[in-house]
Amino acid sequence: MNTQVLCSLVAVGLVTAPARTSPAQPDYLDAKKPLETRVEDLLSRLTFEEKISLLHADAKFTTAAIPRLGIPRRWLSDGPHGVREDIGPDSWAPAGRTDDFSTAMPAGICLAATWNPGLGFDEGAAIGQEARWRGKDIMLGPGVNILRTPLGGRNFEYLGEDPCLSAQMCVGYIRGEQAQGVAACVKHFALNNQEYQRGTINVEVDERALREIYLPAFKAAVQSGGVWTVMGAYNQFRGQHCCQNDYLLNRILKDEWGFPGLVMSDWDGTHDTRQAALNGLDLEMGTGKKYDDFYLARPYLEGLENGEFPLAGLDDKVRRNLRVMIATGVLDPTRPAGSLNTAAHQTVARQVAQEGMVLLKNENHTLPLEVSKLRNIAVIGQNAIRLHAHGGDSSGIKAFYEITPLQGILNRAGKDVNITFSEGYGKPGGADLASRAIAAAQSADVVIYVGGLNHDKGFDCEGADRADMKLPYGQDELIRKVTAANPKTIVVLEGTIVEMEAWRDEVPAILEAWYPGMEGGNALAGILFGDINPSGKLPATFPKKLADSPAHALGNYPGTNGTVTYQEGLLVGYRWFDRKNIEPEFPFGFGLSYTTFEYSNLKLVPGDGTTEMLTAQFEVANTGAREGAEIAQLYVHQKNATQPRPERELKGFQKIRLRAGERQTVSIRLDKGAFAFYDADRKCWAVEKDEFQIEVGSSSRDLPLQGDFSNLHALTF
């Protein structure tokens, strides 16, 4: 095959790279050569214009091919719950294809609620395989912004309120995905904690909270996950947009953390050529201009030509783009081909859903339900039949199918029990719906109420925050009426955090199901009918009322005059509730099981005192009558710190599966990072010579094991 023919095949995507056996094979095509050798070789072959073409989009989700060198078009795709339907090329309208369905995984907050990094790996791997099948090179996820306010419109996509949990959960996902020859993209860097004025809001936060709360998941994504791409956030930080923020991108991400990959902008998150050129942006996407007019297109080229910007800066950006391309196998024939919607992928979707659902209340063993003891079940509530996978905006998935709660319940119990459905709420003229639901409740043995939120604008959806923490559509009143009609009402909530004060004492059981993806209904039925023992735990505090949560208590949400100041500093989520002694509705880390666990015998074994500080060993026993999984959590508190430190901070956890009666020793290793705070004056992490309290248990508010650890030598790093 001559080079020209080969190049055109590459360009149309029929082959991925020239044959490796060609005698004249250049270094950059030789998969055996070291990555940096390949990058430098390819860099040296690019013209000035070709280099520029790699730094910006040529359609909504692609960058230009360079056919003469066998560089194909790069395809990017959302992220993070599966491979999004194809968009564009030049607008946000769907491309209208019929081959762009994919497996819809549960929302990020549900994955976080599994507290199972291994499942994160499985989910990342499944999405990576589907991305390859769909021809994608970079997947725009995971999203790891910290849940600062329950109102955040994208809280459902993210991994909760805690830096340790979100860090561990994103690392597994990234590794799984990238093992498939796809680059992950951790987003949105950084401080994109609200949707209100997301494109302009300026975030002011002190250095400790930045380092200790808002950055750890990103740092872990880079240093432990090896993530290849990072997406800048829409908002500003300390007066500069995050996609062109010198401090975040150049100083922290690249200099301090040694990030070797590329920084891309969020779509239309670039605002200025000079800042984009100099402050660390490597790939500009989604700007509302003609592609040639993008800030990193012609204007950047002109600035390079007239000497305004150094050529070394251009090469650095190009290198980063090439590095990601080559590292993910874009130029190699051995790149995995991927697979789509396999049984294994469906199993992962179901597993994440069933491990992520959180049982919040279960009085008198209301759950699990026994089919043989039931004749009539009334399923009530619009979310029992509502499809969610396609909603929420950029994270929506065109799912192959979606098992709704009602379908799942029918699949599981429909043969043996009479199941009726009434919508209860959600349509105009709701009074009639409500009265029919109440009548259905009266004549049933048990009611399964499935309500909560949905992805409509203003609820769990990109682009806006929620107006309040209340259940919409008059559901508080409806639940009270349904429960009055039938006290055996199980409330299943889909969506993120809502207020439950109006009815939580009336109902015997509450299950948080988040957005559980396309196998969600089956997973839910598995839990309701006891095939699955629930094991999820809350990745965020559920306040009794909005005013209890820090940003709202302090009145510093959503900001004034375009700036939001995070006055609560480190006291985000449970750190605030613990400090202020506020009783939450359900605490961080909380979740019930159908069995019971007992903790005993905490031993603290000192490590080398420099890197490995301590191993905490303890026993967990399953003291109930059935197998179950427990998430053992370890929190650290420094006793006499010279700087303010939270009452307790999650520093380790482990999910363990135990048969009835079984007991297991759990070991959690803590390195120096678990004891450190960020010393803003000295610009480093510091561990003080002091006593630390270690607490272990089943939630942030149930920590039966406690011990003290003395650190004998101060450390900085």
Catalytic (active-site) positions: 266
Nearer to ligand BGC by C-beta: 287 or 404?
Answer: 287
Give the whole-angstrom CA distance, residue 28 versus residue 540: 46
Instruction: Give least dist CB 267 to ligand BGC, A.
Output: 4
Nearer to ligand BGC by C-beta: 83 or 493?
Answer: 83
3 state SS of 710: strand
Nearer to ligand BGC by C-beta: 29 or 138?
Answer: 138
Q: How far is CA 602 from CA 226, 630, 635, in A?
A: 34, 17, 13
Instruction: Give least dist CB 138 to ligand BGC, A.
Output: 10
Give the tokens for residue 71: 């560089």
Give the whole-angstrom CA distance, residue 439 versus residue 117: 44
Length of the chain, in residues: 717
Q: Does residue 394 touch ligand BGC according to CB under 6 A?
A: yes
Nearer to ligand BGC by C-beta: 138 or 171?
Answer: 138
Nearer to ligand BGC by C-beta: 78 or 123?
Answer: 78
Indicate which single residue of 267, 421, 566, 692 sits in contact with ligand BGC (rule: CB under 6 A).
267
DSSP state letter for 246: I
Integer-rounded Cα radius of gyration of the chain = 26
The Cβ of residue 67 has, within 10 Å, a number of other Cβ atoms equal to 17
Q: CB-based contacts of 251: which residues, under 8 Å, 6+ apart?
A: none
Give the whole-angstrom CA distance, residue 140 versus residue 142: 7
Nearer to ligand BGC by C-beta: 265 or 533?
Answer: 265
Instruction: Give least dist CB 457 to ligand BGC, A.
Output: 14
Instruction: Give least dist CB 599 to ligand BGC, A.
Output: 40
Residue 223 φ/ψ, nearest 5 degrees: -85, -30
Indicate which single residue of 78, 460, 512, 630 sits in contact with ligand BGC (rule: CB under 6 A).
78
Q: How far is CA 583 from CA 13, 542, 678, in A?
A: 58, 10, 29
Instruction: Give least dist CB 185 to ligand BGC, A.
Output: 8
Nearer to ligand BGC by C-beta: 214 or 692?
Answer: 214
Give, as ranges, the residues between 438 and 457 that touch ligand BGC (CB under 6 A): none
Residue 364 and residue 508 in contact, taking contact as beta carbons nearer than 8 Å: yes
Nearer to ligand BGC by C-beta: 463 or 609?
Answer: 463
Instruction: Give least dist CB 192 to ligand BGC, A.
Output: 8
3 state SS of 689: coil
Dihedral angle at the C-alpha atoms of 307, 310, 312, 315, nearest 10 degrees? Answer: -70
Residue listed under structure tokens 């725009």: 140
Helices (H), 507-634: 520-528, 550-553, 574-579
Q: How far apart are the first and last CA of the chain?
A: 56
Nearer to ligand BGC by C-beta: 267 or 503?
Answer: 267
Residue 465 and residue 196 in contact, taking contact as beta carbons nearer than 8 Å: yes
Neighbour-count burial of 162, counting CB atoms closer than 10 A to its CB (0-12 exposed, 13-18 middle, 19+ buried):
buried
Instruction: Give least dist CB 154 to ligand BGC, A.
Output: 8
Nearer to ligand BGC by C-beta: 140 or 384?
Answer: 140
Residue listed under structure tokens 């559509």: 473
Give, as ranges, the residues between 529 and 588 that touch ligand BGC (CB under 6 A): none
Give the whole-angstrom CA distance, residue 269 versus residue 223: 25
Q: CB-based contacts of 44: which residues, under 8 Å, 6+ apart?
A: none
Q: Does the bond joining 637 to the residue before it have cis omega, within 30 degrees of 0?
A: no
Site size with ligand BGC, rule: CB under 6 A: 7
Nearer to ligand BGC by C-beta: 142 or 646?
Answer: 142
Q: How far is CA 421 from CA 381, 433, 437, 443, in A?
A: 8, 11, 8, 12
Give the tokens for residue 143: 């999203």
Give the whole-angstrom CA distance, residue 501 versus residue 334: 57
Instruction: Give least dist CB 237 to ligand BGC, A.
Output: 16
Instruction: Give least dist CB 247 to ligand BGC, A.
Output: 21
Q: How many Cα atoms are found within 13 Å in the side-chain-facing hemisphere of 9?
A: 12
Give the whole-angstrom CA distance, residue 287 versus residue 300: 14
Neighbour-count burial of 130, counting CB atoms closer than 10 A to its CB (0-12 exposed, 13-18 middle, 19+ buried):
buried
Nearer to ligand BGC by C-beta: 79 or 408?
Answer: 79
Q: Does residue 184 touch ligand BGC according to CB under 6 A?
A: no
Secondary-structure percent of the chain, ordered helix, strand, coil, rounded to 5: 30, 25, 45
Indicate which single residue of 79, 160, 356, 495 sits in contact with ligand BGC (rule: CB under 6 A).
79
Burial 201-214 (b: 16+ CB within 10 A, else e): bbbbbeebbbbbbb
Instruction: Give least dist CB 331 to ligand BGC, A.
Output: 25
Give the whole-angstrom CA distance, residue 297 versus residue 520: 44
Site string for ligand BGC, 137-156 (x = CB under 6 A): ---x----------------
Q: Give me the residues paired with residue 424 across strands.
A: none
Give the tokens for residue 378: 């009334």
Instruction: Give least dist CB 94 to ligand BGC, A.
Output: 12
Instruction: Give least dist CB 188 to ligand BGC, A.
Output: 6
Q: Give me the residues paired with residue 697 across strands.
A: 633
Instruction: Give least dist CB 150 to ligand BGC, A.
Output: 20
Per-residue 3-state assignment (H helix, E strand, C coil) for 458-491: CCCCCCCCCCCCCCCCCHHHHHHHHHHHCCCEEE
Residue 461 and residue 501 in contact, taking contact as beta carbons nearer than 8 Å: no
Nearer to ligand BGC by C-beta: 79 or 216?
Answer: 79
User: Between vectors from CA 152 to CA 651 and to CA 168, what angle results, nearest 5°?
Assistant: 25
Q: Does residue 187 touch ligand BGC according to CB under 6 A?
A: yes
The DSSP string of 100-121 is --B--PPPHHHHHHHT-HHHHH
Contact residues: ligand BGC, CB under 6 A: 78-79, 140, 187, 266-267, 394
